Amino acid sequence: MKVGLFVPCYIDAFYPRVGIATLELLERLGQQVDYPLGQTCCGQPMANSGCNSDAAAAEALFVRNFERFDAIVMPSGSCAHHVRDHFDAIPQTDAVRHVRTHTYELVEFLHDVLQVGDFPWAEFPHTVGLHNSCGTLRALRTASMSELGEPPFSKPMGLLSKVRGIRFATPARPDECCGFGGTFSVAEEAVSARMGLDKVRDHHDAGAEYIVSADSSCIMHQQGCAERAGIPLRFIHIAEILNGARE
């Protein structure tokens, strides 16, 4: 299987270690991974702001970069959600359809496609609070949603529970959005930051040392809120833990 790695712009610029962990992890798992150097963005920021026509160039470029792969994997739930569910600023050619139906968020890819049974190299002797971004939770559905009362399941938790030494803290409002929301984070700065503060407090009160998430955008926001408020939490992407990060 030829895997194309998409590293979203904010991970590229602010969390390169997440891109590296994703790449190394996929390689460890025997995947042939290529990172097309001409990539930029999936088009989500423009599309989510209603400026769909402005997402066209990014979407077209994304397809040019990734149409040759059997699977397109990205350590970002919201980008995967955009490509799969919204990506319609450009004509829906066969190449576009291929890209849209072969795009996976990292956890989905590990859990559903590769069906990874264990991560023998991974050990993380810390208490972590899992943050499911709304993209992974309610759009990609990688975990059960509290509003629906469905039988509990969690793909990220399933993967993390294979990591030696890891312990989990459960916040009081596990499904509550952290308030990042893309451009919402600046357009509605006060609400966004308050939601972030409430989120990190909830995890901290539950006893988490780390917040782990499959979305670095939520992490970037929550980390900013925690640091400002002086809440001693650390933040880590799920790819880093599964790739054997030791801190």
| Stretch of 97-105, 159-167, 184-192, 205-213 contacting another protein, by CB under 8 A | 184-192
* Segment near another protein (CB under 8 A); pick from 16-24, 93-101, 103-111, 204-212: 16-24
Applying CB under 8 A, which of residues 97, 164, 167, 194 lies at the interface with another protein?
Answer: 194
Per rule CB under 8 A, is residue 30 in the interface with another protein? no
105-164 residues in contact with another protein (CB under 8 A) are 134, 138-139, 145-149
**For residues 44 and 32, is the Cβ–Cβ distance under 8 A?**
no
Strand 234-237 with 167-169, pairing:
unpaired
Shortest spacing between CB 80 and another protein, in angstroms: 15
Separation in Å, CA 62 to CA 4, 19, 171, 178:
11, 17, 37, 28
* Contact region with another protein (CB under 8 A), list: 40-48, 93-101, 115-123, 157-165: 40-48
Report residue 238 CA to chain centroid gap: 8
**β-strands 32-34, 103-105: how paired?**
unpaired
Q: Which residues contact 120 (CB under 8 A, 6 or more apart)?
A: none
Distance CA 204, CA 207 (A): 5
For residue 89, give the 3-state DSSP assignment. Answer: coil
Q: Choose, by CB under 8 A, the member of 25, 26, 31, 39 that binds another protein.
A: 39
Q: What dihedral do alpha carbons 193, 178, 233, 128 form, nearest 10°?
A: 180
d(CA 65, CA 42): 11
Residue 118 or 150 having the CB closest to another protein? 150
Residues 62-81 that bind another protein (CB under 8 A): 65
Instruction: By CB under 8 A, name the one of 154, 185, 213, 243 that touches another protein.
Output: 185
163 vs 52: CA distance, rounded Å: 41
Q: How far is the CB of 118 from another protein (least distance, A)?
A: 24
Range 198-217, binding another protein (CB under 8 A): 198
The single residue listed with the structure tokens 């829906």 is: 92
Q: Is 40 in the site for another protein (CB under 8 A)?
A: yes
Whose Cβ is closer to another protein: residue 46's or residue 114's? 46
Binding segment for another protein among 108-116, 123-131, 154-162, 170-178 (CB under 8 A)?
A: 170-178
Min. distance of Cβ 150 from another protein in angstroms? 8
Binding residue for another protein, selected from 12, 67, 127, 174, defined by CB under 8 A: 12
Q: What angle do CA 157, 185, 126 make, to 5 degrees?
A: 30
